[in-house]
Amino acid sequence: MKALLDSFKPGFKGGEISALQFFGKHGISVAFVLCVVIFSLSTQKFLSTDNFLTVVMQASIIGTIALGVTFVVIGGNLDLSVGSLLSFATVLVVDLHDKVGPGMAILLMFVFTLLIGSVNGYLIGYLRLNSLIVTLGMLSAIQGITLVYSGGKNVDISDQTNTWFAFFGREELFGIPVPAIIFIVLGIVLQIVLLKSGFGRKIFAIGGNATASLFSGLRRNRLVFSTYLLSAFTTACAALILGSRVMGSQNNVGEGYELLVLAGVILGGTSLLGGSGSIARTVIGVLILAMIQNGLLLLGFPYYTQWLVTWVVIIVAVWLDIAAKRGKLFSTY
């Protein structure tokens, strides 16, 4: 702790890098523990099994999307279209439920969501367009598609008590909410894929040094395309949870989710510059955001305070990420 405090003193050189390295390796764990301690001391309701399950439930939708987006960011790109894509997929699966049945509705929702993800992947991976511009444009395009499809109206499932569709958002297994199980299982599978498979190692390679990976024979276009398919897949899973939990959907239900997802990914230590990151740390980052929102709610803070705190968290996380790469906290350039 002394080295950490000393690193903020003007002119301090010896411990500054080690303190930043400490942030890079263990900052997310320290932040997690601090959140638990601070909110536990602030309100007795926070540290209970029911509230912990509530936090995991709150984190499950954003967290499930963040799992796929982590691959995109590690590969050196961004995906700002996931919020609109969540709105589209949720409206689609809920609307189709009464028309073609839950099974076919889920299948068609995954097909169309992956189709949109493939458009992102093709434009960014094969045509080499800027990911920020492409996904920002796709965000608006999907909003328009969703409004046209729904006719500007909200959609609901007519018989909400007599459908197995409720399983994904409202049921429990062994006392654990199904959304939390989906989130955790997907996280474990994708963590193994990222760390133990050749695909995962190649994603790190193209994000760390795109030019070197090209000369080494890696097919960057195909790999980038795959990351956007993965991002669309996890967004479809989140839409399944959300639609099942609410049994209805608004046209803009995913509005703002892209920032929360990105905040969770960055807070987990995945670099915006690409080449480094972890699914497990993304899970912790998303849980921290959910704990902050839950804790502020229990303490009676207004809803907009959560957005302000989230913004501060993003700024601090990005600052520390860049500082760790520079080897210093402050720069005169």
| 157 three-state secondary structure | coil
**Which residues have a Cβ under 8 Å from the Cβ of 326 and sit 6 or more positions away?**
none
Asked if 46 and 294 count as a contact pair (C-beta separation under 8 A), the reply is yes
Buried b (16+ CB within 10 A) or exposed e, 208-223: bebeebeeeebebbeb
How far apart are alpha carbons 43 and 81 in whole angstroms?
Answer: 36
Asked if 289 and 310 count as a contact pair (C-beta separation under 8 A), the reply is yes
How far apart are alpha carbons 153 and 87 in whole angstroms?
Answer: 13
Say what the pLDDT of residue 289 is. Answer: 86
Say what the pLDDT of residue 29 is. Answer: 75
Asked if 54 and 47 count as a contact pair (C-beta separation under 8 A), the reply is no
**Token pair for 267:** 């807070």
Say what the pLDDT of residue 52 is. Answer: 85
- Residue in this structure with the two tokens 């090209």, named with its chain if needed: 214
**Token pair for 258:** 């892209």
Q: Which run of H or of E encompasses 248?
A: strand 248-249
- Residue in this structure with the two tokens 């915006």, named with its chain if needed: 272
Instruction: Sort 240 into a burial class: Cβ within 10 Å, 0-12 / 13-18 / 19+.
Output: buried
Q: Going by DSSP bridges, is the β-strand pair 176-177/248-249 parallel, antiparallel, or unpaired?
A: unpaired
Q: Which run of H or of E encompasses 155?
A: strand 155-156
Say what the pLDDT of residue 223 is. Answer: 94
How far apart are alpha carbons 222 and 234 in whole angstroms?
Answer: 19
How far apart are alpha carbons 143 and 266 in whole angstroms?
Answer: 25
Asked if 118 and 228 count as a contact pair (C-beta separation under 8 A), the reply is yes
Low-confidence ranges of the chain (pLDDT < 50): 1-15
Quickly list H helices, 153-246. 167-170, 178-196, 198-208, 210-215, 220-246
pLDDT tens-digit map of 200-249: 999 999 988 777 777 777 888 999 999 999 999 999 999 999 999 999 88
pTM (predicted TM-score): 0.86
User: How many CA atoms does the CB half-sphere of 194 hold within 13 Å?
Assistant: 27
